[in-house]
Amino acid sequence: MFDGFKIVFVEDDQSVRSSVTETLELAGFEVEPFESAERAIEHIAAGFAGIVISDVRLVKMDGFELLRRVLAADAAIPVVLVTGHGDVTMAVEAMRRGAYDFIEKPFAMERLVEVAMRAMEKRTLKVEVDTLRRQLQNKRGIEATLLGNSAAIQEVRRQILNLADTSADVLLIGETGTGKEVVARCLHEHSKRHKANFVAINCGGLPEHLFESEIFGHEAGAFTNASKRRVGKIEHADGGTLMLDEIESMPLGLQVKLLRALQERKIERLGSNDQLPIDFRIVAATKADLKELSEQQKFRSDLYYRLNVAVLELPPLRERREDIPILFEHFLLQAALRYGREAPPLDGQYLRQLMANDWPGNVRELRNVADRFVLGLLAPGDNAKAAAPVAELTLTQQMDMVEKSLIEQALKLHNGRPLPVCGALGIAKKTLYDKLHRHGIVIDDYRQPAGPPN
């Protein structure tokens, strides 16, 4: 249940030690019992993957001294104290000293298991967050820029590195907020063009009457108020990369001129008859179906086919939910640094909420929530996706959610073909079909019409 995590249980009464150990093991915990605090403390150090449950009244070192030493080694280790001699004063003192919880004998075993479960969930989360932070610190190159361990994002990184040093123009397809500009910058930074300019322009953010001048530049006197020569975006990207975001919103008349510039790698400034040779690479980005738009004559088909050579599809966040913790932790640390504040601690309930959401705004929306989290602005009713109460998810439900996401990613990557999916996931074909049935996944939904049968 909590692989790699264990309970250090200290009790000097052998019969109680044996019965409680058995109960905890039947509940799914790995337990290491000790008859004395002196022996137990030898097995606890900073980063200990587990929790401590101890009787207060012990022969030599008592539970309060054990609590002090455990917290001195690692203040984040939950310690649960148990006693048959306690009272309200002792319970208050235990909590004041930093105990996670206090249980008085005689107690129902269900109560002990419930407390142990909550304490272990807290500890596993803390260890996971610490691990994420170390991973973030140790990442280099493209992994430090394009974060995530899911199969989908690993495939995107592989394709970026494969395309980066080629001369091919690239079309990025993805929903709003999936990180299209981040990917475009990765293509630039990992190419031989990285010393030249990376120039990004949002095609939907410029008035049409200024568009041509922005893209191609103009000569002095080309039009009213054109008092001096202006270098356009394409010329500024000479030797580097030009990113055209929301290319679907580019006016049709200008699409013709862009197509010509792409084919000839030459431009003419407004008001000039001279053609300037320009060495640039286009990375176009869209959230729309350009093929469908071209069929509706809302986007030039010749430009679509000119761009539709090297295509990168960016997965939405809901298809790589297992990346949410590391992304949120990264954005949390960035926001804390930017606003000069401490990064607030995360709890399991909050992370479960984050992973359960669909995130229509994708990575951008997650980053905004991290900012609000650091600023303490997530009051009830503000951003329901991250602040509204949701049903508590068990560990099994969380694991099922991640498993379903991984299977769906593999099916998408391999065009719904079972054998490559089994190979990618390292499972037998029967196991795959059992999991498809359990998660309600229809394999035909991931097959393209021309996909080869398996």
Domain contains 360: yes
Same domain, 355 and 265: no
Could you write out the DSSP letters of every residue in 126-156? Answer: HHHHHHHHHHHHH--THHHHS---SHHHHHH
List all residues 6 or more positions away from 375 whose beta carbon is below 8 Å from its beta carbon.
335, 339, 341
CB 393 within 8 A of CB 403: no
DSSP string across 11-44: -S-HHHHHHHHHHHHHTT--EEEES-HHHHHTT-
Residues 85, 191, single domain; the answer is no
DSSP-derived secondary structure letter, 230: B
For residue 72, the domain's CATH number is 3.40.50.2300
Residue 45 identity (one-letter amino acid):
A
State which amino acid sits at residue 13: D
| 46 and 91 together in one domain | yes
Same domain, 122 and 19: yes
| Residues 307 and 325 placed together within one structural domain of the fold | no
User: Is 452 inside a domain boundary?
Assistant: no
Residues 157 and 298 in one domain: yes
* 358, 387, 416 - which closes a domain: 387
Tokens at 116, concatenated: 């142990």
| Long-range contacts of the stretch 385-388 (C-beta < 8 A, 24+) | 385/353, 385/357, 385/359, 386/350, 386/353, 386/354, 386/357
Alpha carbon distance 316, 305 (integer Å): 24
Residue 453 lies in a domain: no
Is 145 part of a structural domain of the chain? no
Angstrom distance (rounded) from CA 267 to CA 275: 5
Q: How many CB atoms lie within 10 A of CB 104?
A: 17
Give the C-alpha separation, 58 to 54, whole Å. Answer: 9
pLDDT of residue 139: 57
H/E element, 387: helix 384-387
Based on the fold, state whether residues 102 and 120 are members of the same structural domain: yes
Q: What is the Cα–Cα distance from 261 to 278, expressed in whole angstroms? A: 9
The reply to whether 451 falls in a domain is no
Examine the domain organization and report whether 125 and 99 are in the same domain.
yes
Does 165 fall in a domain? yes
pTM of model > 0.75: no
SS3 266: strand
Strands (E) in 47-188, as ranges, are 50-55, 79-83, 101-104, 170-173
In this structure, are residues 127 and 47 in contact, taking their beta carbons and an 8 Å threshold?
yes
Q: Residue 89 burial by CB count (10 A; 0-12/13-18/19+): exposed, middle or buried?
A: exposed
Q: 378 and 331, same structural domain?
A: yes
Does any domain span residue 454? no
| Long-range residue pairs from 220-223, CB within 8 A, at least 24 positions apart, any chain | 220/271, 221/271, 222/269, 222/270, 222/271, 222/272, 223/270, 223/271
Residue-wise pLDDT tens for the chain (454 aa)? Answer: 677 889 999 988 888 889 999 999 988 899 999 999 999 998 888 888 899 999 888 888 888 899 999 999 888 899 999 887 666 677 777 788 888 988 888 888 888 999 999 898 888 878 877 776 666 565 567 887 888 888 889 999 999 999 998 989 999 999 999 999 999 999 999 999 999 999 999 988 777 778 888 888 888 877 777 778 888 899 999 999 999 999 999 888 888 888 988 888 988 888 888 889 999 999 999 999 999 999 999 999 999 999 988 999 999 999 888 888 889 988 988 888 888 888 887 766 677 788 888 899 999 999 999 999 999 887 433 443 443 334 455 556 666 777 777 787 778 778 888 888 888 888 888 888 888 888 888 887 777 654 444 4
Q: Which of 345, 371, 387 is the last residue of a domain?
A: 387
pLDDT of residue 383: 44
User: Which residue matches tokens 């991984």?
Assistant: 406
Question: Are 199 and 286 in the same domain?
Answer: yes
The closest of 23, 45, 21 to 35, measured between CA atoms, is: 21
Do 130 and 257 lie in a common domain?
no
Same domain, 376 and 400: no
H/E stretch holding 243: strand 241-245
CATH code of the domain containing 378 = 1.10.8.60
The confidence score (pLDDT) of residue 339 equals 86
Residue type at 76 in one-letter notation: A
Amino acid at 108: A
- The number of distinct structural domains making up the chain is 4
Domain containing residue 196: 150-313
Helices (H), 198-342: 208-216, 233-236, 252-264, 290-295, 301-307, 324-339
What is the spatial distance between Cα 40 and Cα 72, in angstroms, rounded to a whole number? 15
446: number of Cβ within 10 Å: 20
Residue 143, in any domain of the structure: no
Q: Quick one: pLDDT at residue 389?
A: 38
Q: CB 76: neighbour CB atoms within 10 A?
A: 16
